Amino acid sequence: MLTDRAVRNSKPQEKPYKLSDGGGLHVVVQPGGSKLWRLKYRFAGKEKLLSFGSYPSVSIASARQKREEAKKQMTAGLDPAVRKKLDKIAEEKAAQNTFGAVVAEHLANMAANGLAETTLAKNRWMLEDLAAPLAKRPIAEIMPIEVLDVLKRVEKSGRRETARKLRGMIGGVFRYAVVTLRATNDPTAPLRGALLAPQVQHRPAIIDERELGVLMRAIDEYDGWPTLRAALQLTALTMTRPGDVRFMRRSEINFERAVWCIPAERMKMRRAHDVPLSRQAMEILQGIWSLSDYGDLVVPSIRSIKKPLSENAMNCALRRMGYAKDEMTSHGFRATASTILNERGFNPDVIEAALAHQDKNVIRRAYNRATYWPERVKLLQSWADLLDQFKSAAAADRRAA
């Protein structure tokens, strides 16, 4: 039997030579000085050779253990060389089926199913950026503790709701891996209840009519980029989400019918949403229409007509007007409209339809969508007229002061 000293002190010669350890195991000393472990064995009547790596990376004890494992495989009727080849293929396949690779497929499927770009971008950010520590791990080997570690990092940064959503998104990737035979289970399942409950934070919104009048006058008098001012005005007038306004396209506006048709892929609930345009909204659109003559976005970025306003552009404009983030946000205009219109006695169902909120009752949802268009046209015009009244009252207060 070989010893470390004997192998270590062996010198290269002009031709390769062997140092035997017994049972077919030997070291081949190459002319270049490398020392390679080999196992000579017979299987199905044929002499074969199996490689175990090089010395000293593979120690004598490790080489002997591999020899014994090979003997067990032969006793079980398996060819060690074939077993090694299959194991290598399995390892390479597992390396290809990393979490990152499955994420890429999963996102491609989501895009093919018509999900909105904003939704895809959010999923991409969470799965590629926040879950980056898992990217290179073979998906079948990922344990619940690894996923929990990623989620806890996000949670500790104060983003509890993001951590909760990330768990669901990671779970979606694993469920896709299970049905495509790349994983056997979803390690996010045991993590239910392992995260802290999200802290509900309502978006700041001005609901006092006089204060709203002051805000709307400040927006009208804003001396920044015209499309940014228009974006704030349209967000207030249409009761839509800021993102809908930012991505508004010229092809979606019908001036003859005074309608803005938002396609389903851009809507949160994946249902096309037609927005009645009040007289005031039409005037704003006509006033900025020429600014996007060479593009398709109605309220493009300051830097490029091919890019929409940035996500924070409207909020930054509100800050420059003197409104802190705990006073008013661009998304708060929806809460503002809903609160004031409900307090003034407008039909709650019509208000919900104008906000594109989906009724949980399927029958009511179909009925409301079919019948509330005339009411919504009146509601949006009434809301625009109310905003004018609030601005007039604010102007009178200013003169009186």
Query: DSSP string of 49-114?
Result: EEEEEEETTS-HHHHHHHHHHHHHHHHTT--HHHHHHHHHHHHHHHHHSBHHHHHHHHHHHHHHTT
Cα torsion angle, 125, 131, 137, 142, sign: negative
Contact 108/127 with Cβ under 8 angstroms?
no
For residues 176 and 185, give the distance between their C-alpha atoms in angstroms, rounded to a whole number: 10
Residue 124's nearest CA partner among 137, 140, 135, 138 is 135
Catalytic residue among 137, 160, 268, 270: 268
Query: CA-based angle 309:310:315, to the nearest 5?
Result: 100
Tokens 């509890």 correspond to what residue? 160
In this structure, what token pair is assigned to residue 183? 């994983």
- 241 among known catalytic residues: yes
Q: Which of 167, 334, 376, 391 is catalytic?
A: 334
Round to whole Å and give the CA distance between 316 and 327: 13
Find the catalytic residue in 72, 250, 325, 367.
Answer: 367
Active site residue 84: no
Q: How far apart are CA 89 and CA 396, in angstroms?
A: 80
Q: Report CA-CA distances (Å) from 61 to 1, 4, 52.
A: 11, 10, 12
Q: How many CB atoms lie within 10 A of CB 146?
A: 15
Catalytic site includes residue 367: yes
Q: In whole angstroms, give the CA distance from residue 376 to residue 335.
A: 17
The span from the CA of 52 to the CA of 10, in Å, is 19
State the amino acid at position 120 in one-letter form.
L
> Is 334 an annotated catalytic residue?
yes
Written as one letter, the residue type at 309 is L
Terminal-to-terminal C-alpha distance of the chain: 104
Q: Which helix (H) or strand (E) holds 48?
A: strand 46-55
| Amino acid at site 24 | G
Catalytic residue, candidates 331, 365, 369, 378: 331
The two tokens of residue 194 are 């392992």
Residue pair 224/401 in contact by the 8 Å Cβ criterion: no
Contact call for residues 36 and 27 (beta carbons, < 8 A): yes
**Catalytic residue annotation:** 241, 268, 331, 334, 357, 367
